[in-house]
Amino acid sequence: MAEKVAIFDTTLRDGEQSPGASLRTDQKLEIARQLARLEVDVVEAGFPCSSPGDFEAVQAIARQLEGPMVTALARAVRSDIDAVWDAVRDAGRPQIHIVLSVSDIHIERKLRSTRLKVLERGTEAVAYARTLCDEVEYSPEDAGRADPDYLYETLERVIDAGATVVNIPDTTGYTLPGEFGALIENVRGHVRNIDRAVISVHCHNDLGLASANSVAAVLSGARRVECTMNGIGERAGNASLEEVVMILRTRERSLGLTTGIRTPLLAETSALVARHTGIAVQLNKAVVGGNAFAHASGIHQDGVLKDRLTYEIMRPEDVGMGESRIVLSPRSGRHAFRFRLAELGYHLPDEAFARAWEAFLRLADSKKEILDRDLEAVVEGVTVKA
């Protein structure tokens, strides 16, 4: 039986940090409800201390959302922790999420502090949060560039202080999949009390490796992935929820891992997030892009028309994308052209079809997109001449 990997969605927190993606409370609520329908395990609703509006949005989600755990982000200071708790305390399953740097470059240049002081600050913050909430997550920021021994010590100390989840972030998207997988393996092997906490991961996409690093992590024992719809987020974004979920679903038999996500709702969730944030989904985006199940090459079209498995490793209906599309272009073949004409109700004899094919090729060389009315005009032209 496949082992479950929990999905932690941070679209409403890290995703909203994309430039220009600010959301109103009603938009956050609509997205949160859709995420609950999608059956994500955790919704990170925001950063309550950042503004009164975000506090109100997080509180509204906590009070109204049913199903997922609801969490929000706090820095390792009491005022932030209090703000998170006040915002999420009415949730059915609340969690406090604390973040504090762990790499030397962050400790020395951002915090202007020392390892010892940061370690003490982190453990004190976790201990305080546990007096308020039974579920506390600790994220040692920039773990991908941290000294491993200091990272292990930090994790041991915060788990002893009461952290129930330890999240390993590749904050700058710096690590390679083999390195990040090895880091998770080493955390499991070197942190003496790691059995008392869930290992989560949070990967950024600066080098385009966020989803790959997240999968490498779960193959090495992480059991929670933090991600966003459409991969939105700071800079180049985060691990894409739809990519991680469909990697695990498509390769479930060989990986032995699964999620509880209702994948037929992925496309509509993607569209909702794109509409409210104003960040369009690129056409060639994996899983939910407009071209993800579109075929324009004649070789590909011929194969797909004979059997979709020749070029499709997922069914479009499994992610809510409707049906595969045959897109006519100068690279299309006769098989696809005949298929598309038949869809429009035209069944031409061989001689008329040959003339229509030649007319189509001339038209296709002059247009980027072939519309139904273009095909109708081609057919009308050859049949009138006949």
What CATH number is associated with residue 323? 1.10.238
> For the chain, how many structural domains are there in total?
2
Q: Give dist(CA 214, CA 245) in Å, integer.
A: 11
227 forms beta bridges with 9
DSSP secondary structure of 66-110? -SSEEEEEEESSHHHHHHHHHHHTTSSSEEEEEEEE-SHHHHHHT
d(C-alpha 350, C-alpha 354), whole Å: 6
Residue 77 within any structural domain of the chain: yes
Residue 240: strand pairing partners: 228
**Residues 69, 56: Cα–Cα separation, whole Å:** 18
- Indicate the residue among 277, 310, 333 that finishes a domain: 277
Residues 36, 98, single domain; the answer is yes
Indicate if 213 and 321 belong to the same structural domain: no
Amino acid identity of residue 246, one-letter, is: M
One domain for residues 307 and 187: no
Same structural domain, 355 and 248: no
Q: Indicate whether 33 and 96 sit together in one domain.
A: yes
Is there a single domain that holds both residue 178 and residue 267? yes
Handedness of CA 185, 187, 192, 193 (dihedral sign): negative
User: What CATH number does the domain containing 131 carry?
Assistant: 3.20.20.70
Using DSSP's 3-state secondary structure scheme, residue 299 falls into helix
SS3 34: helix
Residue 286 lies in a domain: no
285 inside domain = no
On whether residue 166 sits in a domain, the answer given is: yes
| Same domain as 86, residue 39 | yes
- In the DSSP assignment, the letter for residue 263 is G
Per-residue pLDDT of the chain (386 residues; tens, 9 = 90+): 899 999 999 999 999 999 999 999 999 999 999 999 999 999 999 999 999 999 999 999 999 999 999 999 999 999 999 999 999 999 999 999 999 999 999 999 999 999 999 999 999 999 999 999 999 999 999 999 999 999 999 999 999 999 999 999 999 999 999 999 999 999 999 999 999 999 999 999 999 999 999 999 999 999 999 999 999 999 999 999 999 999 999 999 999 999 999 999 999 999 999 999 999 999 999 999 998 998 887 778 878 888 888 888 999 999 999 888 878 888 888 888 898 899 889 999 998 999 998 988 888 888 877 888 889 999 988 876 54
Domain endpoint, select from 277, 305, 325: 277
Give the domain extent around 29: 3-277
- Answer yes or no: do 23 and 140 share one domain: yes
Residue at 175 is within a domain: yes
Do 177 and 235 lie in one domain? The reply is yes
Instruction: Decide if 88 is inside a domain.
Output: yes
Same domain, 304 and 366: yes
SS3 of residue 224 by DSSP: strand
Asked if residue 61 lies in contact with residue 70, where contact means CB atoms within 8 angstroms, the answer is yes
Could you tell me if 70 and 91 are in contact, meaning their C-beta atoms sit under 8 angstroms apart? yes
Does residue 289 belong to any structural domain of this protein? no
Q: Which of 218, 252, 277 is the last residue of a domain?
A: 277
If asked whether residues 232 and 265 sit together in one domain, one would say: yes
8 Å CB contact between 50 and 40:
no
Extract long-range pairs of 247-251: CB within 8 Å, 24+ residues apart.
247/211, 247/215, 248/5, 248/215, 248/218, 249/314, 249/318, 250/313, 250/314
Let me know if residue 288 belongs to a domain: no
CA–CA separation, 138 and 97 (whole Å): 6
323 and 376 together in one domain:
yes
